């Protein structure tokens, strides 16, 4: 390359190039360098590069002074921010590379990266705003799964929604965030397979917080390039509660507020199906107030209604939110207990019985009191449907009445299963 070619290259080169004496004064520079320097010092008063740069990057004089080798790279792509200058639409940011030549002079390459830095800063601010927005919302969770369906990232919004930190969530299967009956039904696997096949899948159903409480959520699961998934989950519990409350009002007994017999048939059958699919027990209580005709005769129908409402209240108080309590007819009440074996159901029945036994309530006609007999039955493969299970609980109820009332009796299994002693 001739000297003319070299000079032409230096003239059109978009990178600022300068040769400095050992003290930092400029010996030679191209137009791009002069243009950058003019933005920093429009007066043109300073010709010492190291002194000028030291105003913005105080570490530079020491970098040059401490470089003791005769030649080599003093710094490479060192980023320096000069702040706002009048001739630039962005805060001026430059990338500096300095090399010492063997004869002692220094070559500087100075590249304006202001627009790239502004884009990078804007992207970072946008990401921070997005994260702040997402992490500040309790109703949404965003997390990722690896190719095996295990949690690989867990953000603050997920911590708030599920009630667990990343230390407990990382490495969990997606199925561990779902109810047990859905795990048995392979809901998690079906969602991931659908997402992997079509690119995404949607789901609405129950999810489980670490504290074992449930919430109703709407999920969008998207497949990503590494074989994993991104999950965006929204808590719709308030909407679900509203829908459930409207449905409950339409299916509630007018006197007691309990579920109607029709609602019991619909939802109880579904609970039995889910229990069988998950391989867990389901139990039923059949309760009947003892000598209720005498209550009506002594206190009138108003007193009888007051006692029925008290029985309904006590049954609700002694059972869980997931249990179904329904008025079966007259003074008979049926309680469906999901995921409860015969022993657990007997314990619930005894709590209800003892609470009713202690019940006292004043009325215009005297103190109201009542006891109840309760039959208990646990699901068996031999039960054709919910009606069959209720029929066994009903038979146990009549056994309790025949043995003196105010007691709990357990149904005899319909197969050769080991029998428990009757309470």
Assess whether the region 3-117 and the region 136-239 belong to the same CATH fold.
yes
CB 372 within 8 A of CB 382: no
pLDDT computed for residue 215 by the predictor: 86
Query: Which structure tokens are listed for 175?
Result: 């199925």
pLDDT for 2: 63
Q: Are 353 and 406 in contact (CB under 8 A)?
A: yes
pLDDT score for 3: 58
- pLDDT for 79 equals 85
Alpha-carbon gap, residue 382 to 389, rounded angstroms: 9
Domain ranges of the chain: 3-117, 136-239, 252-410
Q: Per-block average pLDDT, block size 10, for the chain (423 residues)? A: 64 81 84 78 69 84 86 87 65 85 84 71 55 53 89 87 89 89 77 87 85 81 88 82 66 87 90 89 96 92 92 94 91 94 96 95 90 96 92 96 95 61 38
CATH tag, 252-410? 3.30.70.270
Is 3-117 assigned to CATH 3.30.450.20?
yes
What was the pLDDT predicted at 127? Answer: 54
CA distances from 119 to 56, 114, 125, 263, 393 (A): 22, 9, 10, 60, 71
Nearest to residue 286, comparing CAs of 371, 381, 396? 396
φ and ψ at 274, to 5 degrees?
A: -65, -40
Tokens 């190719």 belong to: 147
Residue 299 CB partners (closer than 8 Å, separation 6+): 306, 307, 363, 365, 366, 368
Nearest CA among 243, 223, 210, 370 for reference residue 305: 370
161 half-sphere exposure, CB direction, 13 A CA radius: 30
- Provide φ and ψ at 184, rounded to 5°: -65, -30
pLDDT number for residue 365: 86
Amino acid 103: pLDDT: 74
The model's pTM: 0.46
CATH of the domain spanning 136-239, picked from 3.20.20.70, 3.30.1380.10, 3.30.450.20, 3.30.200.210: 3.30.450.20
Residues 261/374, Cβ–Cβ less than 8 Å: no
Q: Would you state the pLDDT for residue 357?
A: 95
pLDDT of residue 422: 38
């Amino acid at each position: 390359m001739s000297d003319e070619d070299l000079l032409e290259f230096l003239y059109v080169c978009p990178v600022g190039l300068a040769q400095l004496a050992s003290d930092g004064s400029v010996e030679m520079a191209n137009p791009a360098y002069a243009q950058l320097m003019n933005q920093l010092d429009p007066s043109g008063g300073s010709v010492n590069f190291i002194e000028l740069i030291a105003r913005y990057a105080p570490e530079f004089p020491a970098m040059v002074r401490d470089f003791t080798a005769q030649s080599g790279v003093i710094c490479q792509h060192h980023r320096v921010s000069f702040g706002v200058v009048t001739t630039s639409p962005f805060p001026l940011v430059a990338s500096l590379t300095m090399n010492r030549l063997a004869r002692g002079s220094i070559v500087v390459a100075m590249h304006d990266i202001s627009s790239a830095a502004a884009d990078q800063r804007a992207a970072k601010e946008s990401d921070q705003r997005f994260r702040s927005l997402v992490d500040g919302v309790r109703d949404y969770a965003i997390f990722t799964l690896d190719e095996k369906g295990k949690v690989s990232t867990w953000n603050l919004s997920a911590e708030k929604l599920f009630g667990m930190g990343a230390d407990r969530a990382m490495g969990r299967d997606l199925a561990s965030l779902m109810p047990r009956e859905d795990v048995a039904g392979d809901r998690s696997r079906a969602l991931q397979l659908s997402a992997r096949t079509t690119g995404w899948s949607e789901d609405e159903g129950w999810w489980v917080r670490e504290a074992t409480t449930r919430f109703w959520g709407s999920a969008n699961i998207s497949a990503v390039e590494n074989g994993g998934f991104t999950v965006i989950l929204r808590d719709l519990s308030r909407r679900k509660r509203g829908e459930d409350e409207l449905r409950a009002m339409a299916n509630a007994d007018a006197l007691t507020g309990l579920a109607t017999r029709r609602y019991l048939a619909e939802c109880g059958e579904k609970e039995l199906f889910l229990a069988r699919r998950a391989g867990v027990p389901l139990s039923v209580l059949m309760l009947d107030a003892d000598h209720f005709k005498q209550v009506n005769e002594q206190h009138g129908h108003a007193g009888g209604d007051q006692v029925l409402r008290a029985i309904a209240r006590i049954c609700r108080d002694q059972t869980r939110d997931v249990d179904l309590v329904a008025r079966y007819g007259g003074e008979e009440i049926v309680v469906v207990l999901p995921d409860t074996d015969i022993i657990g159901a007997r314990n619930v029945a005894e709590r209800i019985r003892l609470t009713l036994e202690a019940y006292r309530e004043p009325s215009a006609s005297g103190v109201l009191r009542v006891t109840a007999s309760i039959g208990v039955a646990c699901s068996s493969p031999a039960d054709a449907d919910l009606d069959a299970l209720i029929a066994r609980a009903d038979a146990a109820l009549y056994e309790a009445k025949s043995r003196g009332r105010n007691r709990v009796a357990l149904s005899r299994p319909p197969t050769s299963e080991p029998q428990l002693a009757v309470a």
